[in-house]
Structure 1
Amino acid sequence: MPTVTNTTLSLTQRLDIAVDIVDALDYLHNHCQPPIVHCDLKPSNILLAEDMKNASKSHQSSGTVGIKGSIGYVAPEYGEACAVSTLGDVYSLGILLLEMFTGRSPTDDVFRDSLDLHRFCEDAFPDRVLEIECLISVIGLGLSCSKHQPKERKAVADAAVEMHAIRDEAYLMFAGSLAIDMEGKGEAKTAQ
Structure 2
Amino acid sequence: MQLERIHQKIKHFFQINNFNCFCDLGVTLVFSFFLILWFRKKKEQPTATCAKNSLLQLSYQSILRATDGFSGQNLVGSGNIGSVYKGILEENGVVIAVKVLNLLTHEASRSFLAECEALRNIRHRNLVKVLTAISGADYQGNHFKALVYEFMANGSLEDWLYPSVGMIEQERIRNLNFFQRVNVVVDVAHALECLHHHCDAPIIHCDLKPSNILLDEEMVGHISDFGLAKILSADLLNNSTTQSSSLGLRGTIGYAPPEYGMGSELSTKGDVYSYGILVLEMFTGKRPTNEMFKEGFNLHNFVVATLPGRVIEFIDPILLEERVKQGNDRHFQFLNSIFEIGITCSAGIPK
Please indicate, yes or no, whether the TM-score normalized by the shorter chain is above 0.5. Answer: yes
Tell me, in whole angstroms, the C-alpha distance in 2 between the residues paired with 1:133 and 1:81: 40
Compute the displacement of 1:117 (Å): 0.4
What is the match of residue 36 of structure 1? 203
In the other structure, the counterpart of 2:251 is 69
DSSP 3-state at the match of 1:20: helix
Which of the pair is proportionally richer in strand?
2
Counterpart of 2:68?
Answer: none
* More RCO (CA 8 Å, sep 6+): 1
Other-structure match for 2:267: 85
Matches within 5 A, 1:43-192: 43-47=210-214, 66-130=248-312, 132-151=332-351
- Residue 6 of structure 1 and its aligned partner are, at CA, apart by 2.4
Q: Could you say what secondary structure the match of 1:84 adopts? A: coil
Deviation at 1:47, TM superposition (A): 2.8
Alpha-carbon distance in 2 for matches of 1:30, 1:11: 29
TM-score by length of 2: 0.37
Rounded Cα–Cα distance in structure 1 between residues aligned with 2:333 and 2:344:
16
Whichever residue aligns with residue 291 of structure 2, its letter is D
Q: Give the match's secondary structure for 2:291.
A: coil
CA deviation after TM superposition for structure 1 residue 133, in Å: 2.2
Distance in 2 between the 1:126 and 1:67 partners? 34
> Could you tell me whether the CA contact under 8 Å between 1:68 and 1:74 is conserved in 2?
yes
After TM superposition, where is structure 1 displaced by more than 3 Å over at least 4 residues in a row? none
Q: What TM-score do the two structures reach when normalised by structure 1? A: 0.67
The answer for unaligned runs of 5 or more in structure 2 is 1-168, 216-244, 313-328
SS of 2:311's partner is coil
For residues 129 and 98 of structure 1, the distance between their equivalents in structure 2, rounded to whole angstroms, comes to: 12
Aligned to 2:92: none
Structure 1 counterpart of 2:334, which letter?
A: C
> One-letter code of the match for 2:339?
I
> What is the CA–CA distance in structure 1 between the aligned matches of 2:259 and 2:346, rounded to whole Å?
12
CA contact (8 A) 1:73 1:91 kept: yes
Q: Is the 8 Å Cα contact of residues 95 and 142 (structure 1) preserved in structure 2? A: yes
Deviation at 1:109, TM superposition (A): 0.7
Asked which structure has the greater CA Rg, the reply is 2
After superposition, what is the alpha-carbon deviation per residue over 1:55-75, rounded to whole angstroms, capped at 9, x for unaligned? xxxxxxxxx962110000000
**What is the distance in 1 between the residues matched to 2:308 and 2:249?**
32
Superposed CA RMSD in Å reads: 1.9
Q: Is the 8 A contact 1:67 1:79 kept in 2?
A: yes
| Counterpart code for 1:149 | I
Q: How many matched pairs?
A: 136
Report % sequence identity: 48
- Secondary structure at the aligned position of 1:47 is classed as strand
* Distance (whole Å) between structure 1 residues aligned to residue 304 and residue 347 of structure 2: 10
Any stretches of 5+ residues in structure 1 without a counterpart?
49-63, 152-192
1:127 Cα deviation from its structure 2 partner: 1.1
